[in-house]
Amino acid sequence: QKEVEQDPGPLSVPEGAIVSLNCTYSNSAFQYFMWYRQYSRKGPELLMYTYSSGNKEDGRFTAQVDKSSKYISLFIRDSQPSDSATYLCAMNISPGTYKYIFGTGTRLKVLA
């Protein structure tokens, strides 16, 4: 079993839809959870960073962590064609001590 599982997609949604992207993980020691956005032929850029359980909101983006279920989500409200990209989840036990583990990424297409 992979440490981090993420559906590769592609996920196609109409403009304005609410998008839900998810990752599951197996290692209960993970405490730091990140979401990266990666446009085609570009490097990943950090979108959201959450420590432990709970929700975090930033504009149209909301990150949720449910440690009891080992499940994290990224919600995108009012999705735009410019949101079309691959979304990678990443997690860490302790920065500096352990490395990030990335999911495989979910390709999202927002149709105009």
Number of shown-chain residues binding another protein (CB under 8 A) = 23
My answer on whether omega of the bond before 14 falls inside 30° of 0, hence cis, is no
Using rule CB under 8 A, residue 92 touches another protein: yes
CB of 112 to another protein, least distance (A): 26
> Could you say whether residue 46 binds another protein (CB under 8 A)?
yes
| Rounded Cα gap, residues 57 and 39, in angstroms | 22
Burial degree of 107 (CB within 10 A; 0-12, 13-18, 19+)? middle
The answer to whether residue 61 forms part of the interface with another protein (CB under 8 A) is: no
Decide if residue 75 touches another protein (CB under 8 A). Answer: no
Contact status: 88 vs another protein (CB under 8 A): yes
How are the residues of the chain apportioned to helix, strand and coil, as percentages rounded to the nearest 5? 5, 55, 40
Residue type, 33: F
* Footprint on residues 93-112 left by another protein (CB under 8 A): 95-96, 99-100, 102-105
User: In the 8-state DSSP scheme, what is residue 100?
Assistant: -
Footprint of another protein (CB under 8 A):
4, 6, 8, 32, 34, 41-46, 49, 88, 90, 92, 95-96, 99-100, 102-105
